[in-house]
Amino acid sequence: MRRTIVAGNWKMNKNVGEAVELAKAVVQATKGASTETVVCPAYPCLVPVRDAIAGSHVVLGAQDVYFEPKGAFTGKVSCDMLKSAGVVYVIIGHSEQRQYFHETNEGVNKKVKAALAAGLLPIICVGETIEEREAGKTEAVVRDHVAGAYAGLSKDDALRTVIAYEPVWAIGTGKTATPEMAQEVHAFIRKLLVELYDAGTAEAIRIQYGGSMKPSNAKELLAQQDIDGGLIGGAALKADDFKGIVLA
């Protein structure tokens, strides 16, 4: 059985005080949940949030990382820095990184390898834009993203990753893929993992849905066979909304 994992990506929201307040509220709101619960605040908030969730069931994640261990890379953060701040999970290849900061499959792959080498657990994002979906390229794009991210990764490495399927057209637009549409792509991703590794590995890797999951649609989405959780944006910024998804 794959344990459901719900991760809140707070993006560029919440200052330190607000992040600590939200983290404490999430701990209280989701207490007793069987779901693995992750919060991913902005870099300046990592240590204060770590302290706020210490001793609880909530796990700390980061929103990105750089693949070099150290050096003259102004504005970047290394795997070792994240580890020293108490980070467990790290989001890699988010659609906004691809869209705004020119993230490539090669860069994603380097980050994934660096994260795994450092003992971090990558949440690897894949997914198509509205133009790609309407052009019938969903499977081609997803295949490209998955193959690029997992290039050169052993089966043991792959088993330490989580995939987040992001239909980019459904993020922050109010549009949501139907549960059936989401399940179709999740099943396709699992099939790709069978091709890359084997059926056992594919069955073990968790695949989150990252397309505007909300309390109102979470239960139906999470009931799908191959949807193992959610990577949550807007709904993660309010503890009650996040609770509704975690408890679904």
Task: State pLDDT tens for residues 195-219.
Answer: 999 999 999 999 999 988 999 999 9
1 pLDDT band, cuts 50/70/90, is confident
pLDDT band for position 29 (50/70/90)?
A: very high
How far, CA to CA in Å, does 230 sit from each of 74, 117, 247?
32, 25, 12
The Cα 186–Cα 183 span in angstroms is 5
User: How many domains does the chain contain in total?
Assistant: 1
68 phi/psi in degrees, rounded to 5:
-80, 145
147-161, 170-184, 192-206, range with the lowest pLDDT? 170-184
pLDDT of residue 212: 82
- State mean pLDDT over 40-62: 98
Q: What string of H, E and C letters represents the secondary structure of 182-223?
A: HHHHHHHHHHHHHHHCCHHHHHHCEEEECCCCCHHHHHHHHC
Q: Which residues are catalytic?
A: 94, 166
Q: What pLDDT does residue 171 have? A: 75
Which CATH number goes with the domain that contains 170? 3.20.20.70
Tell me how far apart the terminal alpha carbons of the chain are, to the nearest angstrom.
Answer: 17
- Report yes or no on whether pTM surpasses 0.85: yes
The domain containing residue 170 runs over which residues? 5-246
pLDDT on residue 174: 65
Average pLDDT estimate for 9-33:
98
Axis crossing angle, helix 179-196 with helix 215-222, rounded to the nearest 10: 50
